[in-house]
Amino acid sequence: MQVAVTIAAAREAALRAGKAGLRVGLVPTMGALHPGHVALIEESRRLTDFTAVSIFVNPTQFGPGEDYDRYPRALAEDLRACEAAGADLVFHPSAEEMYPRGTAAATFVEVPALSRVFEGAIRPTHFRGVATVVLALFEILRPDVAVFGQKDFQQQALLRRMTADLHLATTIVTHPIVREPDGLAMSSRNVYLTPEQRRAALSLHQGLEAARLAVVAGEADADRVRRILRAPIESQKEATLDYAEVVDAETLGKLDHIETGRSAVALVAARFGTTRLIDNVRLTE
Ligand code: AMP
């Protein structure tokens, strides 16, 4: 496994793989890797012949007062995890390498249709940071396939939209959410939770499962599903609910009815102390 810290070295390694006829896969991450990330790497290995993993805590997707400085960083363990998962290349640039002229006046990619609601309403500059760094990574590594997690549902919807709108050659693949045995979605931010908050955070999965089962049992009224989704979270005194919604899986527009033939997803975000967690479940397949 090669580790590249410069854009030139990463580009050259991916280009060489492409010229050798290998299909290139990319798994963009911010590091502090857990089994959810490893599943994405394994998915890329199933779909392609050469897997690149980027590890980059991207400053432009953090707002003022967010956790950029204290975001967990664990490079040595991450490299071991990438190697064990069979990655071929790890690209680990510095912020200066990615933003040599600084971030204040950087060029940004905007996806307005999907960046102002939900996570974007709470984190107004988050998605332009995500879209910009992902486009830059696509340009550096020219992947045939890029694998993202369903855990960040809005992110993958927005990156699909960017890829379509800009006619990018990369195919976006979304991998299902990897969960702890009790159902909590794995997240690099789970390490921030106290034991009480960790217990309360399970209510996200409980609400989502209750909502999913209600739809399976025939509930089609989105307001009733929303109430089922919210109840376990609102009953936790450790939890502050940011949103719990039932939306169209592609446009993220709020739904009144859940219909067969139209993909619906339930999205939740809640705060536990200073830690914000998100989760979701598809209500129709
Ligand atoms: P992050 O390092 O948190 O930015 O995440 C990097 C990628 O891993 C994103 O595409 C996430 O959606 C994905 N990811 C994070 N947690 C999970 C999880 N529990 N299951 C599946 N994918 C995940």
**Nearest of 154, 86, 142 to residue 118 by alpha carbon:** 154
pLDDT tens for each residue of 46-97? 999 999 999 999 999 999 999 999 999 999 999 999 999 999 999 999 999 9
Atom of ligand 1 nearest to the CA of 37: 8
pLDDT tens for each residue of 5-58? 999 999 999 999 999 999 999 999 999 999 999 999 999 999 999 999 999 999
Residues 166-192, mean pLDDT to the nearest whole number: 97
Nearest CA to ligand 1 atom 13: 149
Best residue among 30, 38, 40, 158 to mutate for probing ligand 1's pocket (most ligand atoms within 8 Å of CB) is 40
pLDDT tens for each residue of 220-240? 999 999 999 999 999 999 999
pLDDT at 190 over 90: yes
Mean pLDDT of the chain: 97
Residue 219 Cα to ligand 1 middle (Å): 30
Task: Report residue 138 as tokens.
Answer: 């696509």
The C-alpha atoms of residue 51 and residue 1 are separated, in whole angstroms, by 10
% of the chain with per-residue pLDDT over 70 = 100
Residue 134 Cα to ligand 1 middle (Å): 14
Atom of ligand 1 nearest to the CA of 176: 21
The pLDDT value given to residue 197: 98
118 dihedral zone (left: phi>0; alpha: psi -120 to 50; beta): left
The pLDDT value given to residue 180: 98
Best residue among 43, 82, 151 to mutate for probing ligand 1's pocket (most ligand atoms within 8 Å of CB) is 151
Burial 197-225 (b: 16+ CB within 10 A, else e): bbebbbbbbbbbbbbbebbeeeeeebeeb
The C-alpha atoms of residue 282 and residue 27 are separated, in whole angstroms, by 22
Cβ neighbours of 83 (radius 10 Å)? 13
**197 in contact with ligand 1, CB cutoff 6 A:** no
Residues 121-125, mean pLDDT to the nearest whole number: 96
Catalytic residues: 37
Contact 24, 88 (CB under 8 A): no
Residues 254-281, mean pLDDT to the nearest whole number: 96
The pLDDT value given to residue 260: 85
Reported pTM: 0.97
Task: Report residue 229 as tokens.
Answer: 């989704």
**42 in contact with ligand 1, CB cutoff 6 A:** no
Residue that the structure tokens 């709108």 belong to: 165
Residue 148 Cα to ligand 1 middle (Å): 7
The pLDDT value given to residue 285: 79
CA atoms in the 13 A half-sphere facing the CB of 167: 0
Residue 257 Cα to ligand 1 middle (Å): 29
pLDDT at 100 over 90: yes
pLDDT tens for each residue of 129-154? 999 999 999 999 999 999 999 999 99
Residue 36 Cα to ligand 1 middle (Å): 6
Question: Three-state secondary structure along the chain?
Answer: CEEECCHHHHHHHHHHHHHCCCCEEEEEECCCCCHHHHHHHHHHHHHCCEEEEEECCCHHHCCCCCCCCCCCCCHHHHHHHHHHHCCCEEECCCHHHHCCCCCCCCCCCCCHHHHCCCHHHHCCCHHHHHHHHHHHHHHHHCCCEEEEECCCHHHHHHHHHHHHHCCCCCEEEEECCCECCCCCECCHHHHHCCHHHHHHHHHHHHHHHHHHHHHHCCCCEHHHHHHHHHHHHHCCCCEEEEEEEEEECCCCCECCECCCCCCEEEEEEEEECCEEEEEEEECCC
pLDDT at 261 over 90: no
**Nearest of 175, 151, 177 to residue 45 by alpha carbon:** 175
